[in-house]
Structure 1
Amino acid sequence: MRIIHFLVIGVLVFAAAYVYRIKMESTSRVERVLRLNAEIREQRDAIAALRAEWAKLDAPLRLQGLAERHLGLKPLVATQYDQLKNLPERPPAFARPGAPDPIGAMINTIEAAAEAPPTTGSVPAAGDKQ
């Protein structure tokens, strides 16, 4: 009978320790969740402050005042525009009709150079002899 009593007491102590461990884990997890919620709240407040600052800096009236103060731009006048017949002639074409495309030739040269193995003076290739 005594063995059963000791066994029951042992099981009760083990169960109490297990319940205490579960309670401590849940308490620590609740504290972690509360810390994370506080961090989230701080980050949201920081984002809101940054958005408010951006709205202030991006205000059209503020930008107009800065442009007028620092850029020295003049208002646009309708007489600034000219007719198309007064435009200068088109610049001469540098490539003759039917000639190969000079830019395409440069691209082919660049691609060929990129495919070649890089040359270095410090380390010879594995198959090269000095």
Structure 2
Amino acid sequence: MRFIHLLVIGALIFAAAYVYRIKMDSTARTEKVLRLHAEIREQRDAIAQLRSEWAKLDAPLRLQGLVERHLPLKPVNGTQYDSLKNLPDRPPRMFRPGEPDPIGSMINTIEAASDPDSVTGSVPQPEDKQ
């Protein structure tokens, strides 16, 4: 009988130690979760603060004031014209006056290639029916 009593007492001590270990693990994990929640809350607060600072810096009225203060710009007037003498010179010709226009000759080549009767590699040739 004493042996059974000692065995039961040993099992109870082992069970108490195991329950204590489980409790300590759960307490440690709970503390870790609470720290993570606090860190998440701090990060969200920091993000909210940065967003409010960005909204303040990006405010149209603030930007307009900075533009007026630091840039020497004036509003564009619809009647602002310049004289023809201030236009830049015409670029030099790339071909002689008697020669054909190279771009025009390319257009003629493109038009000839777009002939509906011509066959390309992407269009199957019609089969000869005899």
If the TM-score is normalised by the length of the shorter chain, which range does it land in?
Answer: 0.5 to 0.7
1:1-130 counterparts in 2 under 5 A? 1-80=1-80, 91=91, 97=102
Aligned to 1:124: none
Runs of 5+ consecutive residues of structure 2 not aligned to the other structure? 95-100, 104-130
Displacement over 2 Å in runs of 4+: 79-82, 86-94
Q: 1:89, 1:71 → 2: CA distance? A: 31
TM-score, with structure 1 as normaliser: 0.63
Deviations 1:88-118 (A, max 9, x none): 5774687x949xxxxxxxxxxxxxxxxxxxx
Q: 2:17, 2:25 → 1: CA distance? A: 12
Deviations 1:63-104 (A, max 9, x none): 00000000111111112367xxx975774687x949xxxxxx
Q: Secondary structure at the match of 1:76?
A: coil
Q: Secondary structure at the match of 2:64?
A: helix
Q: Secondary structure at the match of 2:50?
A: helix
- Counting matched residue pairs gives 94
Identity of aligned residues (%): 78
Aligned to 1:101: none
Larger radius of gyration: 2
Q: Secondary structure at the match of 2:79?
A: helix
Q: 1:15, 1:93 → 2: CA distance? A: 100
Q: 2:93, 2:46 → 1: CA distance? A: 57
Deviations 1:28-71 (A, max 9, x none): 11111111000000000000000000000000000000000001
Deviations 1:7-41 (A, max 9, x none): 11111000000000000011111111111000000
Aligned to 1:113: none
